[in-house]
Homo-oligomer: A and B are copies of this chain.
């Protein structure tokens, strides 16, 4: 059986590049390796130059040069000689000066308050400030945000390397808020505006994505394939696949709150109206207000059953996602008294029942390890990642 057919496409002009990346210069390699050294010091802690060389694959010479540059920048310091007595010349430890700089982070998740903080590089909250929105939206809300940032910058006790902001809504890679209906922001270049007015690098990202970043860097999220489901006023998600946040076509990835999970086919479960104008969205059963309404005035047993039934609906929605992406973990972020019980257990059991064993059985579905500061921590990671290449 032999045949000669036409080309699948014209001889040229075939498709487009899978990964349309730009040119790479030697200096980019330098920046990458710099991040490699910094990341090692950040994640593993103080180490000798030789240690860093071994774990990064660079030579001791290169690492020495890099460390010297980082010391000159003030980001790294020598910490003296390692005490452990082994053969050979003792190592001089170097470490990242995680206390010498600070990060300003603001969480805009809440509809009523702007939640801000000054954090150290390892995510410890040093100063906390919050301010009431009092119904402000649009430019007044942006102005309030700016003044909060000013206040936090003034409150910082160390040089601030940048400002990170976790905002609801659709936000592109440049920190432009494409749309954030609850804040009345549409096509607002928030990061650029604030960078200009504050005089400090500002990074803005979606709050669910930010929370996922926080769980990832400071928490316990798995490396390969993880979804962080943020359950509050609404329901959102940040997804990390193959080591990178998923952005999506419209930078709207993770908007799983408005997937229909209740329709006429589901018995004993009437579809509820949703703020988005449709009915039966996941948010109508899984948001914190919805859960409180559903369990209000019930006995503990009834309440558990009600939460389990919501967990089942969540599991039905998660199963295709978990299967398609072969996720390792799903983390829930929200009030533990509502989520970390029958709801979580029922959701996990449902996902397992509805997916292939190889996928479902390896899956973990548990509470995130960060509390309500998760979005703040994630906003700090935005800055770490953007300014130092560490994440």
Residues of A within 8 A of B (CB): 1-9, 11-26, 28-29, 32-33, 36, 39, 42-46, 56-58, 95, 98, 120, 122-130, 155, 170, 213, 216-225, 227, 237, 239-244, 246-256, 258-260, 263, 265-267, 276, 317-321, 323-328, 353-359, 362, 370, 373, 377, 385, 391
Contacts and interface: CB of A to CB of B under 8 A. Distances in A.
Given A29-B26, A128-B3, A327 B12 contact: no
A13 B44 contact: yes
A358 B186 CA distance: 14
B320 A7 contact: no
A126 to B, nearest CB: 6
Contacts of A224: 247-249
B18 A324 contact: no
Contacts of A318: 320
A282 to B, nearest CB: 9
A320 B227 CA distance: 13
Contact of A377 (B8, B17, B18, B362): B8
A77 B308 CA distance: 66
A7 B124 contact: yes
Nearest to A125: B5
| Most B Cβ at <10 Å: residue of A17, A122, A126, A242 | A17
A20 B249 contact: no
B15 A216 contact: yes
Count of chain copies: 2
A252 B24 contact: no
A26 B23 contact: no
Nearest to A124: B7
Contacts of A125: 3-5
Nearest to A224: B249
A379 to B, nearest CB: 13
Contact of A325 (B1, B170, B253): B253
Residue in A120, A237, A324 with the greatest tally of chain B CB atoms within 10 Å: A324
Among A6, A11, A218, the one with the most B-chain Cβ atoms within 10 Å of its Cβ is A11
Given A1-B128, A42-B14, A246-B241, A123 B9 contact: yes
Contact of A321 (B43, B243, B320): B320
A32 B98 CA distance: 34
Contacts of A259: 319-320, 323, 354-355
A193 B301 CA distance: 59
Nearest to A26: B26
A118 to B, nearest CB: 10
B58 A36 contact: no
B243 A326 contact: no
A300 B56 CA distance: 64
Determine which residue in A2, A248, A249, A265 has the highest number of CB atoms from chain B within 10 A of its CB, and name it.
Answer: A249
A120 B9 CA distance: 11
A352 to B, nearest CB: 11
A124 B14 contact: no
B21 A36 contact: yes
A213 B17 contact: no
A120 to B, nearest CB: 7
